[in-house]
Amino acid sequence: MSIPDWVGPVAEYIFEVGLVNTLKISAMALVGSAVIGIVLGTLLTIRFLPSRALIRLYIEVWRGLPILVTIFMIFFLLPALSQQLRIDDPLIAAALGLTLWGSAQVAEATRGAVQSIPREQHEASAALGFGWLGRHAFVILPQALRRLLPPMVGLLVNIIQNTTIAQVIGAPELLEASERQVERLTFEGQEHAIQIYGAVMVIFFVISFPLTRLAAYLEKRLI
């Protein structure tokens, strides 16, 4: 059994364009979510009401909205509000939308992780002369980040899978790339949608499955 002629160009496009862009969006969203989420989550543990209420609102809004709506907001609503806010690159718009959602998840997880560090750790480091910033940067966060690792791996899986939502604004990630190939072949009178979307599912599974296993393993090891 030989590989049919249509497979080569399809696979090349899906891997070289689709997979590369999926990984690009995922990387941007992961870094953005981690940075913003850890900062907001740490600030959330301070007993200063106005900032807490604002961060709570941020978390509840971006966790509550469907990611599809958030991505559309960034792509359509921002330019409607002001031309300076226009984001032309759908990859960036999608990464921003995923970052809003992801940072809300990370903030919530960080709050839990920071609060799970025993009070004695705060008191001991305060006794050693650390201020709030030094206490968190050198004592609390390094311990909290360890507990944050399993949910972060879980978040990465979710981010990778949710990059497909960028398809709706035409970002050429895996799903959009494969849809273009399905349509091109349909135009040429060939139907291979099941094979192509099936292959996309396999690609996502091959990436996600080891990561979900890793998250489960870390959860057992670190807690």
From candidates 7, 39, 68, 126, binder to another protein by CB under 8 A: 68
The DSSP secondary structure of 3-37, one letter per residue, reads: PPTTHHHHHHHIIIIIIHHHHHHHHHHHHHHHHHH
The answer to whether residue 180 forms part of the interface with another protein (CB under 8 A) is no
Site for another protein in 31-60 (CB under 8 A): 60
31 versus 57: smaller Cβ distance to another protein: 57
Residue 93 near residue 71 (C-beta atoms within 8 A): yes
Site map (CB under 8 A) of another protein, residues 149-168, x = contact: --------x---xxxxx-xx
Say whether residue 81 binds another protein (CB under 8 A).
Answer: yes
Nearest to residue 43, comparing CAs of 155, 129, 148, 136?
A: 136
Shorter beta-carbon distance to another protein: residue 103 or 167: 167
The residue within the footprint of another protein, chosen from 46, 54, 77, 128 (CB under 8 A), is 77
- Is 191 near another protein (CB under 8 A)? yes
Contact status, residue 47 vs residue 59, Cβ threshold 8 Å? no
Answer whether 195's CB lies under 8 Å from 130's CB. no
- Residue 72 in contact with another protein, rule: CB under 8 A: yes
Number of neighbouring beta carbons within 10 Å of residue 78: 16
Amino acid of residue 14? I
CB 197, min distance to another protein, A: 5
Which residues fall within 8 angstroms of residue 31, CB to CB, at 6 or more apart? none
How many binding residues for another protein (CB under 8 A)? Answer: 40
Q: Which of 102, 118, 99, 115 is nearest to 151 (CA)?
A: 102
Q: Which member of 10, 29, 113, 182 binds another protein (CB under 8 A)?
A: 182
Residues 198-217 that bind another protein (CB under 8 A): 198, 200-201, 204-205, 208-209, 212
Inter-axis angle of helices 141-162 and 193-222, nearest 10:
170
Smaller CB separation from another protein, 87 or 168: 168
The residues binding another protein (CB under 8 A) are 60-61, 64-69, 72-73, 76-77, 80-82, 157, 161-165, 167-168, 175, 179, 182, 191-194, 196-198, 200-201, 204-205, 208-209, 212
